[in-house]
Amino acid sequence: MIKFDVNFIDVYSSIVNINLNPLIMKNLFAFVVLVLISQIVLSQRVALVRDGGKFGYVKEDGSWFIEPSYEKAGNFSDGMAAVFGEGKWGYIDSNNQLVIDYQFDKVKGFDSGIAVVSKDKRWFYIDKTGNEITTMPASDKVYDFKKGYAFIKRGEDVGIINAKGEVIIEPAYRKIFPVTGGYAKVQKGDLFGLVDKTGKVVLEPVY
């Protein structure tokens, strides 16, 4: 009997949809589970598991989505998953095809068709073909995309860009808080203001 603690993930999303703890595997194809459903989605949900020292992906019914064959692996997001082999990281698609060769030292998950990777001590963006994206605005730090948006940083100030590389909020704030109800609180110096999700200043930082 093999015991796993896993989270089921929508193959085409980075959102955790079901939390399972504990999940007991009676055999390779049947599970007895204690399930807390947090979100229902139509697409396939899978969990990253380790068996026999290798990583693979299992479906909710207990059958293998991808049998364990990888030294290291990450969760699926945006239809892609990072896998480790030959001493480097690459990416597979949901058909278990190595679509981006093993070549990166460090990797992060895909979002909106973009992932952050490190090679030769340099962080940069790639698309789903593995090509570097060179059209993003200059930034002192490369941030992950989350739901189609990422921070950019210049000096001590941060802003926000979208997946097209368009600057939504200019890097003019010390901190930008999560958008709530269509608005985000921003900090400039010791003062706080509000911007909307298009980057328009609703309330200048005066408080």
The residue type at 110: F
Angstrom distances, CA of residue 119 to CA of 88, 107, 125, 137, 146: 10, 9, 11, 20, 22
Which pairs with CB-CB distance under 8 Å and at least 24 residues apart come from 193-199?
Answer: 195/169, 197/168, 198/168, 199/160, 199/167, 199/168, 199/169, 199/170
For the chain, give every domain's residue range: 1-134, 149-203
For residue 26, what pLDDT is reported? 39
Cα 140 to chain centroid, rounded = 21
The mean pLDDT value for 182-189 works out to 90
For residue 10, what pLDDT is reported? 61
Question: Each residue of 106-157: pLDDT tens digit?
Answer: 999 999 999 999 999 999 999 999 999 999 999 999 999 998 999 999 999 9
Question: Each residue of 5-43: pLDDT tens digit?
Answer: 455 556 654 333 333 333 433 333 333 222 222 222 224
Q: Which residue has the tokens 């991808």?
A: 66
Could you give the CA distance from residue 15 to residue 62 in angstroms, rounded to a whole number? Answer: 20
pLDDT higher than 60, residue 67: yes
